Amino acid sequence: MLVFHKESCKFCSKYIYFYSKINMSMYNYLFRILIVGDATVGKTSICNRISNNTFTPYSPATIGVDFNVFNLKLLNDSIIKCQLWDTAGSERFRSITRSYYNNTAVVILVFDLSDAKSFNRLPMWLQEIKDNVRNEKYSILLLGNKSDLPPSEISRTEIMDFVEDNNLSYLETSAKNDTEARFKFSDYISELATTADFTGQSTGVTVTPLDIIDKHRRDEDLCCCRFQ
């Protein structure tokens, strides 16, 4: 499990909730993560909730591709640097976004739980992923967003059958209200980092062992009081 929850800071006795303040040049794993799905399903809101734990009610439509990055720390002190590539869902940007599929470790496929059309288009998106990701190994995380809204006619059985038939991982959340969304995503990435094999030539993950660093200095770099 990731150390991505409330933890007492040994220097100032405050609590650290989020490790985005870690030195970005220090990491054991670099994960390239692509977020895809129909327009208006909330991809940018998911990206912001995962990386910054923020929500903006009226986000402008993504033009082409947007980018965010944050770091996670595992219990064994390994650090994962996550690059989030937020793609436009509009068809007119598809030729641009296709170039970002290759060398991707994780594809987050987002649909709107309140919009059956976005669920019905998931097979098209799966085919788009299979046609454009040419890695030896990659993972697909299906993410149902907008659980705060009244549900559409999509049944839970339909969703889980689709997940099982296509061998997907699945999370359900609300980018608007679910402040635990980053914890759920962190657990997913943590499991990949500790169980997956990244020894292939094309996995979307860069493995970079850290140099030996003084433990006290590393803890001090993570202290929340250094960023006030």
d(CA 193, CA 86): 21
Q: What is the pLDDT of residue 126?
A: 95
* Most confident residue range from 1-5, 40-44, 86-90: 40-44
The whole-model pTM stands at 0.79
The kind and range of the H/E element at 66 are strand 65-73
d(CA 198, CA 204): 8
Domains and CATH numbers, the chain: 26-204 (3.40.50.300)
Query: 3 or 27: which carries more pLDDT confidence?
Result: 27
Q: Tens of pLDDT along 158-188?
A: 999 999 999 999 999 998 888 788 888 888 8
Q: What percent of the chain has pLDDT over 70?
A: 73
Q: What is the pLDDT of residue 16?
A: 42
Given pLDDT bands bounded at 50, 70 and 90, which one contains residue 33?
A: very high
d(CA 116, CA 127): 19
Please say if the pLDDT value at position 81 is more than 60.
Answer: yes
Residue pointed to by tokens 């959340």: 173
Q: What is the pLDDT of residue 163?
A: 97
